[in-house]
């Protein structure tokens, strides 16, 4: 989001010293052609992907961007090591036991069916998505830190610390299987080893998910620890926020086709995962970004948010486009329904692969379920990303959904650990469409 804007401002003037030559179809977007200045500043007609600039086709610019981020992160240091403050999870005392019983929730031998998967059977954890999965700005205390990706604390894929200090899905599953691997270790970018199987990337939209899926599979195949046909994997797939926060308003007539294209790319990426990642359960999660943004309409947000939101979420908060924010919201609600419907497609369910729609983010709000008082400590300093506390609350919600049967899953946030569900001897499996 914001990091791309900064780099675009620096680089708008040149690619190898000159603007790209105009395309013969002046209003058509392409990754490899088109006028750079027009693609950045004007609205375009959809062609082969939802993208407003061919910057990603330029190797020099990609290398410059990577170098810029490296210098930036090294200057600021690892903000992810912070662990105290109002926007951080309150630590759980060593004397307090893990909320769930642990015995009996790893199968004596690996199960053959994804529908008989116990929490301890998970060997590998992975994630695809955008900046809410990279945990961008989670530990930021100043606006100049909002480009740091605190992947180690990410709700779905961070493995920094333990559940006592950083409640995340990996830190929960590690209690059942200490040999779990794939989770992000600490602050890192996609290209760093510490990111491991978190291949999420800032600014990603649904159109990027086929590439994201291929990148994940390739990374796993290159990792000597991974036995594709033996290890059971859990993959959390969360996307959609940037489609409506920073993209739909820049594309010509996007409101007429964006939901159709989202469904196309969603299915394409899930098919690829089905064909290339055996023994995998996919948590399909709607993005909370738009719901959280609308929930803050009832809140007096900090001044810092007035500076960042028009840049990071210009479709909802930019002066040129915010008049259509209710339309964008309705399209986002349609995509949430599309995600749920796609999760039931028969072709996406086999003996060793399944997709489960987890709706806890669907009605995400800075107001806890049933509460009239907001908790702005769930949000980072930019009011766009989640704080470390927000990531912990999100992990609690995802875990609860995994322990709830399809058709009976909860949505919205609850205070951390107030409602923490557990497997039972009668129902020991992670719930899927088939075993609910």
Q: Which residue in the list 53, 58, 73, 131 is annotated as catalytic? A: 131
CA-nearest of 102, 409, 124, 176 to 281 is: 124
Known catalytic membership, residue 385: yes
CA distance 151 to 133: 7
CA distance 238 to 346: 21
Phi-psi region of 160 (alpha: psi -120 to 50; beta: other; left: phi over 0): beta
Contact (CB, 8 A) for 197 and 126: yes
Q: Which residue in the list 187, 243, 352, 382 is annotated as catalytic? A: 243
Q: Which residue in the list 385, 387, 394, 410 is annotated as catalytic? A: 385
CA distance 172 to 400: 11
Contact (CB, 8 A) for 120 and 106: yes
Known catalytic membership, residue 131: yes
What's the token pair of residue 99?
């909320």
What's the token pair of residue 128?
């695809």
CA-nearest of 358, 383, 385, 312 to 132 is: 385
Backbone angles phi, psi at 234, to 5 degrees: -125, 130
Q: Which residues are catalytic?
A: 131, 243, 385
């Amino acid at each position: 989001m914001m990091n791309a804007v900064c780099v675009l401002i620096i680089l708008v003037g040149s690619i190898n010293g000159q603007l790209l030559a105009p395309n013969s179809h002046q209003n058509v977007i392409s990754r490899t052609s088109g006028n750079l200045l027009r693609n950045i500043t004007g609205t375009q007609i959809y062609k082969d992907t939802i993208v407003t600039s061919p910057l990603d086709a330029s190797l020099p610019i990609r290398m410059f961007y990577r170098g810029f981020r490296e210098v930036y992160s090294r200057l600021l240091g690892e903000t992810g090591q912070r662990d105290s403050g109002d926007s951080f999870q309150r630590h759980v005392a060593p004397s307090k036991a893990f909320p769930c019983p642990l015995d009996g929730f790893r199968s004596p031998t690996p199960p053959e069916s994804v529908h008989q998967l116990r929490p301890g059977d998970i060997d590998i954890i992975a994630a695809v998505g955008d900046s809410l999965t990279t945990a961008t700005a989670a530990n930021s205390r100043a606006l100049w830190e909002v480009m740091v990706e605190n992947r180690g604390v990410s709700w779905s894929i961070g493995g920094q610390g333990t559940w006592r200090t950083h409640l995340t899905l990996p830190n929960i599953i590690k209690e059942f299987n200490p040999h779990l691997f794939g989770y992000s270790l600490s602050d890192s970018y996609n290209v760093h080893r510490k990111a491991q199987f978190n291949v999420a990337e800032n600014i990603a939209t649904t159109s990027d998910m086929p590439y994201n899926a291929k990148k994940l599979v390739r990374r796993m195949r290159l990792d000597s620890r991974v036995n594709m046909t033996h290890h059971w994997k859990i993959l959390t797939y969360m996307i959609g926020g940037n489609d409506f926060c920073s993209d739909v308003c820049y594309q010509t007539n996007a409101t007429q086709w964006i939901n159709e294209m989202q469904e196309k790319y969603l299915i394409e990426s899930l098919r690829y995962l089905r064909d290339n990642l055996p023994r995998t359960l996919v948590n399909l999660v709607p993005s909370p970004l738009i719901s959280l943004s609308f929930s803050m309409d009832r809140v007096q947000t900090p001044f810092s948010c007035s500076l960042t939101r028009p840049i990071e979420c210009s479709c909802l908060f930019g002066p040129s486009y915010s008049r259509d924010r209710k339309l964008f919201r309705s399209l986002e609600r349609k995509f949430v329904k599309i995600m749920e419907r796609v999760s039931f497609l028969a072709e996406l369910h086999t003996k060793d692969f399944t997709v489960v729609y987890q709706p806890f983010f669907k009605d995400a709000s800075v107001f806890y379920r049933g509460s009239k008082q907001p908790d702005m400590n769930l949000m980072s300093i930019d009011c766009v990303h989640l704080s470390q506390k927000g990531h912990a609350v999100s992990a609690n919600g995802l875990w609860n959904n995994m322990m709830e049967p399809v058709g009976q899953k909860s949505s919205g946030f609850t205070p951390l650990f107030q409602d923490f569900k557990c497997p039972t001897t009668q129902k020991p499996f992670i719930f899927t469409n088939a075993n609910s």
